[in-house]
Structure 1
Amino acid sequence: MSEHPYRLAVIVGSIREGRFAPVIATWFARHAARHPHIDVDVIDLDEVRPYTLRHGSEEYASFAKRVDEADAFVVITPEYNHSFPAPLKHAIDLLHTQWQAKPVGFVSYGGISGGLRAVEQLRLVFAELHATTVRDSVSFALAGNLFDDAGELRAPAAATQAADTLLHQLTWWAVTLREARATRPYGG
């Protein structure tokens, strides 16, 4: 383990009105921040507004810098019509080299599938960008029933264990790939 914390960007992938994503993102970011080797940066696409970003603008540069400075990512995604949200795809497509040679994990939610169909499609997108997706993820089927009004899980044991597994895998990849990029820049 590196003595320096790594930067984990938690990307909130829904901008839909009435979205549930902030509840899950807050829970996950709070959990990840308990790990002293992780520095969490929450990138909420509702604040970034990816459709308004133009190359060369300050807002674009700020978004690109935050993604570039991250050593790893966790994408919080709902499943809309068996896929992930269009604004998330647009935000991903705005950048290229900033994603390369970095690990990506997923926390998904949705109906009975828990967002897993969205995750499987996102794996293909990130593979094309030369990012490495980790095997395990956190999935919430019918998520609205699992959290109380304060945003706390009613029965946290399984989700906490899944989050720790995901963070363990991300940590290995984040530290290993950060060291590799420093030694030998990725030329994908």
Structure 2
Amino acid sequence: MRGLPGGPAAYGGAAPGSAAYGGPRSRPGQGDGHRGLDPPRPPGAGRLRLVTALAALRDDVALDTVDVADHELPGGLDALDPVVALRPRLAAADAFVLIVPEYNRSVPGPLKTLIDSFQSEWDAKPVGFLGYGLSLTGGVRAVEHLRQVSAEFHAVGMKDAVLFPRVLEHYDAQGRFPAEPEGPEAAAKLMLDELLWWALALRDAKSVRPYGV
């Protein structure tokens, strides 16, 4: 997404099993004891709506939502791979939010493949996280792995994340998510506030001294 005048841009990358700034086809991984069977597939759009609804209330952010499930993933990491079409969108973003389920105690493969397909597009940009899973960990192991991956790409992971342990219990009888929005909305606002502070600070710094190591 593009930045607004005086405000940063934010982008999300998603996968079948993960999303960023909302991938509606996300799947929560079991996290504990999972051995490769497909996990249940509750609608992932709830996690998307939680973030995008809060972002829509702000005048300092514009969203570009990407679901990895909508993009053919590369078989290698060369310039001809199909995912390269996302390069201008990632490069234009000032910040990222990754929405990720914990799968086999880590990050789903498609999201990791997408991240690995790019390099400078992540440089010196902040990354926020929303994790979820079927176990009590609530996706925290996937989020912590993404923090390490983000650091390798010279991105800045946000301290505060949004987590949904036992994600199926966050739906009400009508299928609405989250059933009790006050806590998740407060956590998401905190994460977005941090993300936008870092987005502006890093964008201003790069305008004075371009990033490069």
Q: TM-score scaled by structure 2?
A: 0.80
Aligned partners of 2:60 and 2:5: how far apart in 1?
A: 8
Alignment of 1:47-86 (within 5 A): 47-51=70-74, 55-57=78-80, 59-86=82-109
Q: Which moved more, 1:39-48 or 1:12-21?
A: 12-21
% same residue: 34
* Partner in structure 2 of residue 152 of structure 1: 177
Q: How many residues align?
A: 187
Are the aligned partners of 2:72 and 2:83 in contact in 1 as well (CA < 8 Å)?
A: no
The offset of 1:140, in angstroms, is 0.6
2:11 pairs with 2, 9, 12, which one? 9
Partner of 1:166: 191
Q: Deviations over 1:120-142 (max 9, x none)?
A: 11111110110000100000112
1:5 is displaced (CA, Å) by 2.6
Q: Is residue 133 of structure 1 aligned with residue 157 of structure 2?
A: yes
On the 8 A contact 1:29/1:42 being kept in 2, the answer is: no
2:131–2:162: 8 Å Cα contact kept in structure 1?
yes
* RMSD (Å) for aligned C-alpha atoms: 2.2
Superimposed CA distance per residue, residues 81-138 of structure 1 (whole angstroms, 9 cap, x where no aligned partner): 1101011110000000000000001000002111000111111111011000010000
Instruction: Tell me: CA distance 1:137–1:37, structure 2 relative to 1, closer, same or farther (3 Å).
Output: same
- Structure 1 58/90 Cα, relative in aligned 2: closer, same or farther at 3 Å? closer
Instruction: Tell me the residue number matched to 1:96.
Output: 119
Q: Give the Cα separation in 2 of the matches to 1:58 and 1:83.
A: 25
Question: What is the DSSP-based 3-state SS (H/G/I as helix, E as strand, rest coil) of the residue aligned with 1:50?
Answer: coil
The runs of 4+ residues in structure 1 deviating greater than 6 Å are: none
Find the aligned partners of 1:63 and 1:53 in 2 and give their Cα distance.
15
In the aligned structure 2, how far is the partner of 1:150 from the partner of 1:35?
Answer: 27
Structure ranking higher in helix proportion: 1
Q: Over residues 22-50 of structure 1, what are the superposed CA-to-partner deviations in whole Å (9 max), with x where a residue is unaligned?
A: 33123212222221101111111111232
Structure 2 gaps, min length 5: 18-26, 28-37
Query: Any idea what SS the aligned residue of 2:66 has?
Result: strand
**Unmatched tracts of structure 1, length 5 or more:** none
**More deviation in 143-152 or 107-116?**
143-152
Matched residues in 1 for 2:144 and 2:181: separation? 24
Query: In structure 1, what residue type is equivalent to 2:13?
Result: I
TM-score (norm 1): 0.89
Per-residue deviation, 1:150: 5.3
Query: 2:97 touches 2:127 (CA, 8 Å); kept in 1?
Result: yes
The structural deviation recorded for 1:182 is 1.6
Following superposition, the deviation at residue 3 of structure 1 comes to 4.9
- Contact 2:87 2:118 survives alignment (8 Å): yes
Q: By percentage of residues, which structure has more strand?
A: 1
Q: Evaluate the alpha carbon distance shift between residue 187 and residue 119 of structure 1 in structure 2; reply closer, same or farther with a 3 A threshold.
A: same
The 8 Å contact of residues 55 and 61 in structure 2, kept in 1 or not, is answered as yes
